[in-house]
Amino acid sequence: MPVSVGVIDAHAHVGAFGSWAGVSCTARELLSAMDSSGVEKAVLFAPDNVLVRRSVAKHPSRLIGYVWPNPHDRGALGLVREALTDWGFKGIKLHPLLNAFLPTDEEVLPIVEFAEKQRVPVAIHSGHAPFSLPWSIGELAEIYPKVRFVMLHMGHAHGVCIKAAIDTAKRHDNIVLETSGVSMHSKIKEAVEVVGEERVMFGSDFPFHDYSVELRKVEVAGLSGKQKELVFRENALKLLF
Ligand SMILES: [Zn+2]
């Protein structure tokens, strides 16, 4: 059931995610899910950057592309440069867990420096040891105070990591928290209260999670009407693209 305010999704995928995940979707399936859930726009990223580029080109008013480099690849910085300057992509996604690096590893820094130069956000997967713990993302945010970091999943499914995500974002005002996959709805309200209503935003992580579940989680978190507007829509419009 669509929510009562317009929604921007800060985190969606296209393509196939095999191995343990076993999920996939096409751009058409994503858009159909967005339509039936009242989601106006979604930030899109996937390991297959060409597929993201093609999907965004087909639906430019609905999808916003972020580039997903593997910092271990020699061509990572070149890919990021091309995507941000030639393809019209609006940000960078990093997945320390999947691509096996620490946020502060040497090969990551030139990518974040380019984000700083281009003034685009860096969205980072959070929640899993040893590579994507909130504390490590905080260390990167401390090195680059001018870069806006979106902590995807705000610690994800582990209570201690969720608490760490909130504490870390409180310490670094260049971190924004994103709600997809977070296992405790009560922590969304806590994040809004502790970190600030302008630094928490809705994300689905479609097709890993369904819109009906992810939207409901924010709906029942106990936010005021104004806070819901900020989390579901306004913060993303201001901070993501
Ligand atoms: Zn994701």
Give the separation between CA 154 and CA 144, rounded to whole angstroms.
19
* Per-residue pLDDT reduced to its tens digit, 34-71: 999 999 999 999 999 999 999 999 999 999 999 999 99
Task: Tell me the mean pLDDT in the region 117-124.
Answer: 98
- At 55 the three-state DSSP class reads helix
Closest by Cα among 186, 228, 230 to 3: 228
* Dist. CA 97 → ligand 1 center (Å): 11
Can you read off the two tokens belonging to residue 102? 């620490």
Q: For the segment 186-241, what is each residue's pLDDT rounded down to a tens digit?
A: 999 999 999 999 999 999 999 999 999 999 999 999 999 999 999 999 999 999 99
Q: So what's the pLDDT on residue 5? A: 66
Map residue 141 onto helix, strand or coil.
helix
pLDDT tens, position by position, 125-148: 999 999 999 999 999 999 999 999
- Whether 141 contacts 123, CB under 8 Å: no
Residue type, position 60, single letter: P
- Ligand 1 centroid–CA 229 distance in Å is 23
Q: Bridge-partner residues for 177, per DSSP?
A: 151, 200
Report in angstroms the alpha-carbon separations of 24 from 33, 125, 215: 13, 18, 20
pLDDT at 18: 85
Residue 48 C-alpha to ligand 1 middle, in angstroms? 13
pTM for the model? 0.96
Tokens at 199, concatenated:
């630094």
Q: Which H or E run includes 160?
A: helix 159-171
User: Mean of the pLDDT values across residues 157-168?
Assistant: 96
Instruction: Determine the residue type at 175.
Output: I
Q: How far is the CA of 191 from the centre of ligand 1 (A)?
A: 20
Using the mean position of ligand 1's atoms as its centre, give its distance from the Cα of residue 194 in Å. Answer: 25
**CA of 125 relative to ligand 1 center, distance in Å:** 7
pLDDT for residue 54: 98
Cα(10) to ligand 1 centroid in Å equals 10
Residue 2 has pLDDT above 70, yes or no: no
203 CA distance to ligand 1 centroid (A)? 9
Contacts of 117 (CB under 8 A, 6+ apart): none
Distance (Å) from CA 192 to ligand 1 centroid: 22
Q: How far is the CA of 34 from the centre of ligand 1 (A)?
A: 16
Å from CA of 116 to ligand 1 middle = 23
The span from the CA of 217 to the CA of 148, in Å, is 25
Instruction: Tell me, in angstroms, the distance from the centre of ligand 1 to residue 160's CA.
Output: 20
Closest CA to 153 of 193, 186, 181, 133: 181
Give the Å distance between the CA of 205 and the centre of ligand 1: 5
Interval between CA 172 and ligand 1 midpoint (Å) = 23
Q: Is the pLDDT of residue 73 over 80?
A: yes
How far apart are alpha carbons 28 and 33 in whole angstroms? Answer: 9
Residue % of the chain over a pLDDT of 70: 98
Angle subtended by helix axes 211-219 and 185-194, to nearest 10? 50
